[in-house]
Amino acid sequence: MKDLLDLTALEAHEAMVGGDLAASEYTAAWSEAAAGDELNAYLWRDEGGEEGRAIAVERDCIAPIAVKDIFTTEGVPTTAGSCILEGYRPPYTSTAVRKLLEAGAPILGKTNMDEFAMGSSNENSAYGPVLNPWDRGRVPGGSSGGSAAVVAGGLAPWAIGTDTGGSIRQPAAFCGIVGLKPTYGAISRYGMIAFASSLDQCGPLTRTVSDAALLLGILQGHDPCDSTSVGIEGGVSLPGREDLSGLRFGVPAELRGDYDSGVRDVFEQTLKRIEDLGGEIAEVSLPSSEHGISAYYVIAPAEASSNLARYDGVRYGMRAGGDGDLVQMYETTRSEGFGPEVKRRIMLGTYALSSGYYEAYYGQAQKVRTRIAEDFTGAFADVDFVVTPTAPSVAFGLGEKTDDPLSMYLNDFFTVPMSLAGIPAISIPAGLAEPEGGGPQLPVGFQIAAPAFAEQKLLDAAYALEQGIGFDAKPGDGNG
Amino acid sequence: MAELEAVIGLEIHVQLATKTKMFCGCELSFGDEPNVHTCPVCLAHPGVLPVVNEQAVRYALQIGLALGCEIAPHSIFHRKNYFYPDSPKAYQISQYDIPICGPGRLGDVRIHRAHLEEDAAKMIHVGSSGRIHGSGSSLVDFNRGGTPLVEIVTEPDLRGAAEAAGWARLLRETVRQLGVSDVNMEEGSLRVDANVSVRPAGSEELGTKTELKNMNSFRFLQRGIEAELARQRELVESGGTVEQETLHFDPASGSLTSLRSKEEAHDYRYFPEPDLVPLVPTEEMLREAREALPELPAARIARYEEMGLASDVALTLATDPRTSGYFENVVEAADGIEPRILANWVTGELAAALRQAEVEGGAADSRVTPPALATLVRMVQDKKISHGSAKTVLAALVSEGGDPEPIVEREGLAQMSDSNELEAIVEKAMAENADAVEKIREGNNKAIGAIVGAVMRETKGRADGGEVNRLIQEKL
Amino acid sequence: MIERDQVLHVARLARLSLSEEEVEQMVGELSGILEHVDRIGTLDLEGVEPTAHVVKLENVLRPDEPRPSLPRDVALASAPEPQDGAFRAPSPQAE
């Protein structure tokens, strides 16, 4: 038998169901591995104490899982990577976690993240950055950096994260693993601390596409606590496609732009691989997608500025300046509790919604969004999938982009349009490339996007491509 | 200076009598201990989401239909963003430019719109010892937070304080009869704010308006508006200009205090609520709402007026469904007697008799059955008993129930139908009151009262006053 | 692009207090971001409906049935300053 930790979640599940593997043994092995976290990926781990009681599973029969610290877990610290929620223990558990527990997946721990999911490098956490297991001088991506790092770094078999503008896909790409953002509404947002309500979605970060399918199957579904949830009709089955014949993959003409040559090479190679597997490559046009970043960085901060207004020191979380008057308490609490990126986005969002600016910013951005969605609908009349590199570069160095917020935002160039359109997209590791400045090779992600609720088709194609690529590099294989 | 006219609009908040809150399943509270009806949603914990209460939507549709509003085929919720401890999300979920109910009308006042929203929590201000301002505390009780509200906004069609209070009463009665709210101003399930301005009479333009709040009875509403109108009139007449502000009415002193703080006016930064989806009232929902409407006061008033009732009598009956139901039964039993006469008996003599006897409840709860009252009135119409005797019979009906005929018989109250007998009594009375007769002949008609009185005493009130008068005049 | 006054005004709206240094920085950073974002202002989007809702759902309603509320001690457990069964907050400035 393979080393326990090498089993995919699916393999482990099948072994458990088949009686060949004791779930408790499997979980114990992972708990031990998780305890060796040197990447600052976990903010809390279940060490078998009192705290984890409220979220203990009755029946342990699915691989234990790491959960981004943005999901509320009753009685267990939930910080969203922020100071303002330091020590906060929610009085309820999020639906996504509840479903995991009901399925029999113990929670290994809560993972580190960019504060309130705002970031593309996990350098915005109040609890320190997460290190990329491939090269500890580099970022794992964000905002689900912790979730990606634990999966890539052998600290968890799989994890859940959230994706608002690329926050699952981009860290998955930087860490050489699979990351899926489902259709908006596929998974309940109840208990998922809100950043941008019309964009946030829960999704799997896994080592294989099959694991992602297994996890998606557990998580998806309509939730009466979330008015915007619908689930995926017909559920999700494990993928089994062998090749890509009969499928058309569209490459958007507009999403060329300026990006790393190493990434471009892997992307082109993957396109050839698709053709080798019988797929057809075509060019599509998404004229409004180049404005995706602009629209996103109006809509997301605007919604965030409203979602984060509840952190006011009155009912939970941090309170500072309580000896002053009300406004002083609000201002001191929020100014001390939020980090610089969060403040920046709150300011941006408040401005975009403020009197006199709403139409020009928020109103206009929501129109761009409609156009972007229409562009995809148009493209999908011609092709089955739209493909792009997941990120414009491989993982960059810690501190490399923190001085220029805009350059950090441009990381999301390829991922944001899908978020705005609400359609599902997956990133799978497609190869390795040298960073622009030279150095050991790092993973490159390949993004496939599909029409709304076409997750099954998407997973089937991604699976076939994944098998065809045969990516098997691991951190520490003589790199980094 | 041209005469100034008052221009008043009202903003009404109705707390709906649903079982649970607008966006979560917590029960509504009635004077309970603080914070016993809360949950992660209405406490706005991280990660929670609202889900719309179906009954609140039904009630809003009923209110809209009762007010003759256009029901929006498609309406959405918006976030109204502002920081205050009684607003846990730091935004209120409300409706902004696409409300569920559009223009309508109630009586003489046009309705601008009505929409759904959630109530704020309750804040109790607690002073800090020794200090007057600043570092006191607010204690926040979230029981009320999230209670469903319908906000109704009128056009500025009201022209006076009394008119405004009167219309507010009509609105209250209309909503009360729908059964969707307790609409109790003292308890806070009905809140009425007024927007008040003045302008030269005949002008089409609107003056600057001020907003009046905290008037928690119809009486205070009227007084508050009166005070503000007086203030604005004086200001304008002395050459000043009215500033837009919010004024808080103090019932104890009857004065208005400005709430204009040093801060700028709120910028609510409205945007569509992304956590909720649109309301699209279906044919079935509208049909059910329509069917749930009782005949409402305004319609009833119109119907009664058509039946010949005076406006004020129609209004009195229309605002009391049980009494108006009783009245309609009397009309049916009376078969042919003018409804106007019957209505006057119900709201006049019967009401007085019930008060006199200190009977609890109204006509419908009394022992006087509609057929009994109908018979009694017919007896008066047919001159079988005098109006005065009828009042005596009515008092007996109130205490014993039953029918009027046996009571008339028992008390010997039948009107004198034998004119010979009456004539003889009149002649006798005239003979015994010769000086009164002399006075009448001299032109002092008031003296007739003495003779009529004597006749009435002799006949024990059974004589018809009109007939007695006629006989006296004849024999002069 | 964005002026200092506007930054201070927006900070007030958002209940954030910024140090002098932070204000300076914010002016620069926000201006840079807005310059990029402003591109959408040049697009001709006449007649395009803004996206208000991503999922095409309507009338998602909840039956008016009571669900258990939190026990008060649980509701107050996270409160920074519970007092007399309520959440204490400083009073607003004298109005």
Are A335 and C18 in contact (CB < 8 Å)?
yes
A68 is catalytic: yes
Quickly state the pLDDT bin for A449 (edges 50, 70, 90).
Answer: very high
B-interface mutation test, from A310, A323, A328, most B Cβ less than 10 A away: A310
Structural domain includes residue C37: yes
Q: How far is C54 from chain A (nearest CA, A)?
A: 7
* Same domain assignment for residues A48 and A162: yes
Domain boundary among A330, A353, A371: A371
**Is the Cβ pair C16, A343 closer than 8 Å?**
yes
E strand or H helix at A264 = helix A261-276
Q: What one-character DSSP code corresponds to residue B144?
A: S
Check residue B158 and report its DSSP letter: B
So what's the pLDDT on residue B133? 47
Identify whether residues A188 and A329 lie together within a single domain. Answer: no
Put simply, whether B85 touches A (Cβ < 8 Å) is yes
Is B259 in the C-facing interface, judged by CB distances under 8 Å? yes
Same domain, A224 and A196: yes
Chain C stretch 62-91, residues whose beta carbon is closer than 8 A to a beta carbon of chain A: 62, 70, 74-75, 77-81, 87, 89-91
pLDDT-wise least confident of A407-416, B17-26, B171-180, B184-193: A407-416
State whether residue B49 sits within 8 Å of chain A by CB: yes
| Statement: residue A96 has pLDDT above 50 | yes
Distance from CA of C6 to the nearest CA of B (A): 14
Which residues in chain B are closer than 8 Å to A192, comparing Cβ atoms? Answer: 47
Residue A425 lies in a domain: yes
Q: Which residues contact A343 (CB under 8 A, 6 or more apart)?
A: A335, C16, C18, C22, C26
Q: How far A392 CA lies from chain B's nearest CA (Å)? A: 30
User: A185 and A247: one domain?
Assistant: yes
Q: In total, how many domains does chain A have? A: 2
Q: Tell me, what's the pLDDT at B417?
A: 64
Q: State whether A124 and A270 are in the same domain.
A: yes
Residues 89-128 on B with a CB inside 8 Å of C are: 124-125
Residue A313 and residue A216 share a domain: no
What residues in A contact C24, CB-CB < 8 Å?
none
- Under the banding of pLDDT at 50, 70 and 90, the label for residue B132 is very low
- The reply to whether A13 and A106 lie within a common domain is yes
Q: Following DSSP, what letter does each residue of B278-326 receive, concatenated?
A: -B---HHHHHHHHHTPPPPHHHHHHHHHHTT--HHHHHHHHT-HHHHHH
Cβ neighbours for B46, distance < 8 A, ≥ 6 positions apart: A72, A78, A80, A85, A88, A90, A193, A194, A310, A316
Range of the domain at C7: 1-41
Q: Check pLDDT > 90 for residue A276.
A: yes
Residues A151, A206: Cα–Cα separation, whole Å: 6
Q: Is A118 left (phi over 0), alpha (psi -120 to 50) or beta?
A: beta
CB-based contact C69 B37, cutoff 8 Å: yes
Distance between A433 CA and the closest CA of chain C, angstroms: 29
- At B263 the pLDDT is 44
**Domain endpoint, select from A324, A345, A371:** A371
- Per-residue pLDDT, A54: 81
Residue A16 belongs to a domain? yes
Region A5-12 average pLDDT: 96
C79 falls within a domain: no
CB contact under 8 A, A227 and B269: no
Tokens 């088949």, located at residue: A18
Asked if residue A477 is part of any domain, the answer here is no
pLDDT at B457: 86
Angstroms from A205 CA to nearest CA on chain C: 24
In a domain, C7, yes or no: yes
B43 to chain C, any CB pair closer than 8 A? The answer is yes
Q: Do the chains contact at A302 and B271, CB–CB below 8 Å?
A: yes
Interface of B with C in 313-372 (CB under 8 A): none
Q: Which residues contact C4 (CB under 8 A, 6 or more apart)?
A: C23, C27
Confidence at residue A1, expressed as pLDDT on a 0 to 100 scale = 43
- In order, the DSSP letters of A280-306 are EEEEE--GGGGGHHHHHHHHHHHHHHH
C82-83: strand order across its sheet: B122-126, B137-141, C86-90, C82-83
- The more confident residue out of A31 and B442 is A31
Min Cα separation C91/chain B (Å) = 5
Please tell me the least confidently modeled range out of A425-429, B258-262, B299-303, C58-62: B258-262
**And the tokens for B343?**
């209505």
> Testing the interface with B: which of A315, A335, A361 to mutate, by most B Cβ within 10 A?
A315
* Backbone CA torsion sign across C53, C54, C55, C56: positive
- Tell whether C20 is covered by a domain: yes
Judging contacts by C-beta atoms under 8 Å, the chain A residues touching residue B265 are none
d(C-alpha C20, C-alpha A431), whole Å? 47
Give me the number of domains chain C comprises: 1
Nearest to B277 among C15, C57, C93 (CB): C57
Distance from chain centroid for Cα A256: 23
Contact at CB, C79 and A405, closer than 8 angstroms: no
The CATH number of the domain holding residue C12 is 1.10.20.60
Residues A104 and A231 in one domain: yes
Give the pLDDT confidence score for residue B1 in this predicted structure.
59
Query: Looking at residues A78-98, what average pLDDT do you find?
Result: 97
From the number of C-beta atoms within 10 Å of its C-beta (0-12, 13-18, 19+), residue B204 rates as exposed
Across the beta sheet with B78-81, the strand order is B91-94, B78-81, B271-272
Q: Is residue A476 part of a domain?
A: no
Instruction: Report percent pLDDT > 90 for chain A.
Output: 89
Using the Cβ of B308 and the Cβ atoms of chain C, whether some distance falls under 8 Å is answered with no
Kindly report the backbone phi and psi dihedral angles of residue A405, in degrees, each rounded to the nearest multiple of 5, phi listed first. Answer: -55, -40
Of A464-478, B8-22, B271-285, B411-425, the least confident = B411-425
The residue range of the domain holding A293 is: 289-371
Is A289 noted as a catalytic residue in this protein? no
Catalytic residue among A94, A125, A147, A167: A167
pLDDT (tens digit per residue) in C22-35: 999 999 999 999 99
- Looking at residue B262, its pLDDT comes to 40
* Tokens read off for B163: 């008119």
Interchain contact B138–A (C-beta under 8 A): yes
| Average of per-residue pLDDT values in chain B | 90
Both A186 and A267 in one domain: the answer is: yes
User: Cα(B13)–Cα(B72) distance, rounded to whole angstroms?
Assistant: 19
Q: Does B258 touch chain C (CB under 8 A)?
A: no
> Is A480 domain-assigned?
no
Confidence of residue B261 (pLDDT cuts 50, 70, 90): low
User: Is B279 near chain C, with CB under 8 Å?
Assistant: yes
Give the separation between CA A458 and CA B380, rounded to whole angstroms. Answer: 90
A109 and A255 share one domain: yes
Q: Which residue of A has its CA nearest to B42?
A: A315
Give pLDDT tens digits for A140-173: 999 999 999 999 999 999 999 999 999 999 999 9
- Looking at residue B251, its pLDDT comes to 82
Identity of the residue in C63, C85, C90 whose CB atom sits nearest the CB atom of B33: C85
Model confidence pLDDT, tens digit, residues A333-359: 999 999 999 999 999 999 999 999 999
pLDDT attached to residue A370: 97
- Say if A230 falls within a structural domain: yes
- Which residues of chain B does C55 touch, with a Cβ-Cβ cutoff of 8 Å? 277
Say which of B37, B142, B280 has its CB closest to residue C59.
B280
CB contact under 8 Å between B49 and A353, yes or no, is no
C-beta atoms of C48 and A332 within 8 A = no
Domain CATH code at residue A78: 3.90.1300.10
Q: Are residues A246 and A222 part of one domain? A: yes
Tell me which chain C residue has its CA closest to the CA of residue A91. Answer: C74
Using omega within 30 degrees of 0 as the cis cutoff, is the peptide bond preceding B366 cis?
Answer: no
Name the residue with higher pLDDT: A186 or B454: A186
Indicate yes or no: CB of C66 within 8 angstroms of CB of B27.
Answer: yes
Of C13, C72, C88, the CB nearest to B267: C13
Q: Both A337 and A310 in a single domain? A: yes
**pLDDT at position A142, please?**
95
Antiparallel, parallel or unpaired: β A385-389 and A248-252 = parallel
User: What is the end-to-end Cα distance of chain A in Å, rounded?
Assistant: 29
DSSP states along chain C: ---HHHHHHHHHHTT----HHHHHHHHHHHHHHHHHHGGGGGS--TTPPP---SS-----EE-S---PPPPHHHHHHT-SSEETTEEEEEPPPP-
What is residue A125's predicted lDDT score, i.e. its pLDDT?
98
**Cβ contacts from A onto B, under 8 A:** 101
In the predicted model, what is the mean pLDDT of residues B340-348? 94
Q: Look up residue A284 and give its two tokens.
A: 């599509």
Q: What is the DSSP letter of A362?
A: I
Element (H, E) at A121: none
The distance of B176 to chain A (nearest Cα, Å) reads 31
Lowest mean pLDDT among A132-136, A281-285, B296-300: B296-300
**The pLDDT of residue A2:** 58
- Is the model's pLDDT at C95 over the cut of 50? no
pLDDT tens readout for residues B97-130? 999 999 999 988 999 999 999 999 999 888 755 4
Segments in B5-122 forming alpha helices (H): 54-66
Secondary structure letter of residue B20 according to DSSP? B
CA atoms within 13 A on the CB side of B159: 7
Which residues, including other chains, have CB under 8 Å from residue A226's CB and lie 6 or more apart? A95, A188, A189, A190, B49, B51
Tokens of B446: 């008031």
Interface test with C, best of B38, B116, B126 (most C CBs within 10 A): B38
Residue A143: active-site member: yes
pLDDT given for residue B134 in this prediction: 47
What does the pLDDT look like over B153-173, one tens digit per residue? 999 999 999 999 999 999 999
Instruction: Give residue B252's pLDDT band: very low, low, confident or very high (50, 70, 90).
Output: confident
Q: Please determine, for residue B192, whether its predicted confidence score (pLDDT) is greater than 70.
A: yes
* Sign, CA torsion C59/C60/C62/C63: positive
pLDDT at B264 over 60: no
Dump pLDDT digits (tens) for B44-88.
999 999 999 999 999 999 999 999 999 999 999 999 999 999 999
Touching subunits of A (3+ CB pairs, under 8 Å) are: B, C
In a domain, C27, yes or no: yes
Of A327, A350, A371, the one marking the end of a domain is: A371
Query: Within 10 Å of residue C59's Cβ, how many Cβ atoms?
Result: 15
pLDDT of residue B128: 58
Q: How far apart are CA B134 and CA B131, in angstroms?
A: 8
Residue whose tokens read 């005596």: B392
Sequence-ordered list of residues with C-beta below 8 angstroms from that of C19, at least 6 positions apart, any chain: none
Tokens found for residue B100:
């569920």
Q: What is the ipTM of this complex?
A: 0.96
| Predicted pLDDT of residue C65 | 98
Which H/E stretch holds residue A420?
helix A416-421
Contact B53 C62 (CB under 8 A): yes
Report yes or no on C11 lying in a domain. Answer: yes
Catalytic-labelled residue, pool A82, A143, A147, A427: A143
Per-residue model confidence (pLDDT) at position B265: 66
